[in-house]
Structure 1
Amino acid sequence: MTDGSTLALLESLRAADWSGDWDHAFEHAQSRRLLMHEYLRRAALWARACGAESEWPFFDVTQYVDKDFRLPPELAAELDACLKKVAYGARKTCGAAVRLAALRARGDIALPDLPDLYEPLVLFYERGGEFVQDGAGFLDLTGVSVKPRGLRNHLADLPFLTFDERTLDALDAKGRASYHVAADRSGPLLRRRLLKAAEQHDEVFTPELRWEPTGLLRLADEKRTDAAYAQICDIEAAELVQAAVRDASGS
């Protein structure tokens, strides 16, 4: 009998939009970039722990944890049917995610004490489908492109662990965004979005969990003296958004 978590993962993969809806992927470009960042970090950790460095970053880790592992026939058939609907470039990692979930659920083999390898990648797929890797090693995530910096570099990456859908949605925006807080880390989270033709929008993240226009943002490099805000990275901003989400839900 297949456990519920593995079946839920299969349903998530079935529900992902594999039709190539570019608008959907563009809307989630920034959150998908951060999810890929976290997958590359986790893949580096797992590859080092399992001796799979040569296969990093996109590999089936179950082959290294238990080379004799096979899915039960009924689950294997369900997975095969699911993968026929998955974009070709994502089939390997989607299949690997299901196999790892099934191996973990079986519970008779020790796995590395590491965060779930494929969780951020599955969320990435749910928010806009597959990615494409070009001959130069760049990953086209639709709307943004990144290039893996090598396994050792990604081992030292700052973790991105805020996977709440509301947090991910709050990170997605048109234009190039930078995030800012007061130098003493008090007060609200603010962001500046730069669009084409030098169009600029300054916004504050409110307790109602949405971005609103603001006149608060005064950056130090603008030579203003009334209020100077320090820039933070988008992963730090995500943690502040997640804290606001927790406060709003009372958890």
Structure 2
Amino acid sequence: MGDRAASLVLERLRAVEWDGDWDGDWDDVLAHVMSRRLLMREYLRRAGMWAQAYSAETVWPFFDVVEYADPEFSLSPEVAAQLQEYLGRIIVTNAVKRTGTGAVRLAEFRARHPDALPDLPDLYEPLLLFYERGGAFRQDNAGFLDLTGVQVPPGTLAGRVAGPPLSSLDPDLLDAVDAEGRITYYTAADRQGPLLRRRVVRGVPYSEGFGRDSLRWEPTGALLPVSPEKVTAAELGMVWLDEMEAATLIWTAMADAKRWL
């Protein structure tokens, strides 16, 4: 049973088109920039929680948590051999290989010892989805994470743990946040209005609102601030929203709609 769970995660990794063997359309990778950034932020948050649970703060954020949950644990021989063979032929960073290994090992460990783990959200699922939506990440000498199309500072463990969670990993939500261009989210100052976004594509601005009935972005005539500065937004009766907060509003609308299906 445990090796079956691990094999399923390994199959997901095998299906990823990593940078080194990518032969598809880069536009497709760049189309997932926004959701990949949210997924990485959520992974960093969860990794902080798991690191705290096992006193592994010094190895945060990209680590194999099973090494700390049970240092004596070993994968079933067949899965271990398959994983080693696969990791030996893909061109990715050590951090990617380490977390891929952790995801496979945690799946088998959880299946074998379901009561041995803390009551925390799944550690590696956001990162697996991140890989599936566009491949690997890199880390530069300054520590910034290059997600292909956008850079994200890793921040601090405490800061990430204290940050807002991603409300859902549902593919519909991830698709809804993906769009071309530079995106800024707003809503009415009283937070009672619709979710709005200003999207700039090659210098051309677009104002769009998320329809609670249609569950998609639609053009709107709203005049949105050019920048998220508080004074500018306040002049138009709006407030800037962090992308995590915007994702929560989108998911709330989607969840409400799904309850009526």
TM-score, normalised by the number of residues in structure 1: 0.89
8 Å contact kept, 1:14–1:85: no
- Of residues 10, 32, 35 in structure 1, which corresponds to 2:36? 32
| 1:213-242 residue CA offsets vs partner (Å, 9 max, x unmatched) | 1103455837877xx332221111111111
Cα drift, residue 195 of structure 1: 3.1
Cα drift, residue 180 of structure 1: 1.7
8 Å contact kept, 2:183–2:197: yes
Equivalent-residue separation in structure 2 for 1:161 and 1:79 (angstroms):
31
Structure 2 partner of 1:242: 251
Report % sequence identity.
51
TM-score, normalised by the number of residues in structure 2: 0.86
Cα gap change, 1:86 to 1:113, in 2 (>3 Å): farther
8 Å contact kept, 2:167–2:251: no
Q: Which amino acid aligns with 1:161?
A: S
Cα drift, residue 249 of structure 1: 2.7
Equivalent-residue separation in structure 2 for 1:223 and 1:161 (angstroms):
27
Cα drift, residue 10 of structure 1: 2.2
Cα drift, residue 3 of structure 1: 5.7
Q: For 1:212, what is the secondary structure of its paired residue?
A: strand
Structure 2 partner of 1:17: 17
Cα drift, residue 108 of structure 1: 6.2
8 Å contact kept, 2:198–2:224: no
Q: For 2:61, what is the secondary structure of its paired residue?
A: coil
Structure 2 partner of 1:66: 70
Structure 1 partner of 2:171: 165
Please give the residue correspondences for 1:90-239 in structure 2 after superposition, counting only pairs within 5 Å: 90-107=96-113, 110-197=116-203, 199-206=204-211, 207-218=213-224, 221=232, 228-239=237-248
Cα drift, residue 128 of structure 1: 0.4
Q: For 2:168, what is the secondary structure of its paired residue?
A: coil
Equivalent-residue separation in structure 2 for 1:117 and 1:37 (angstroms):
12
- What is the Cα-based RMSD across aligned positions, in Å? 2.2
Cα drift, residue 43 of structure 1: 1.2
Structure 2 partner of 1:57: 61
Equivalent-residue separation in structure 1 for 2:174 and 2:161 (angstroms):
23
Q: Which moved more, 1:10-19 or 1:62-71?
A: 10-19
- Of residues 80, 83, 91 in structure 2, which corresponds to 1:79? 83
8 Å contact kept, 1:2–1:75: no
Equivalent-residue separation in structure 2 for 1:41 and 1:222 (angstroms):
29
Q: Which moved more, 1:78-87 or 1:116-125?
A: 78-87
Unpaired runs of 5+ residues, structure 1, are none
Structure 1 partner of 2:228: none
Q: Which moved more, 1:2-11 or 1:40-49?
A: 2-11
8 Å contact kept, 1:218–1:224: no
8 Å contact kept, 2:3–2:79: no
8 Å contact kept, 1:190–1:217: no
8 Å contact kept, 1:177–1:192: yes
Q: Which moved more, 1:116-125 or 1:72-81?
A: 72-81
Equivalent-residue separation in structure 2 for 1:77 and 1:52 (angstroms):
27
Cα drift, residue 106 of structure 1: 0.5
8 Å contact kept, 1:177–1:193: yes
Equivalent-residue separation in structure 2 for 1:106 and 1:223 (angstroms):
54
8 Å contact kept, 2:30–2:148: yes
Q: Which amino acid aligns with 1:192?
A: R
Cα gap change, 1:27 to 1:85, in 2 (>3 Å): farther
Equivalent-residue separation in structure 1 for 2:118 and 2:151 (angstroms):
31
Equivalent-residue separation in structure 2 for 1:120 and 1:137 (angstroms):
20
Cα drift, residue 93 of structure 1: 0.8
Q: Which moved more, 1:4-13 or 1:51-60?
A: 4-13
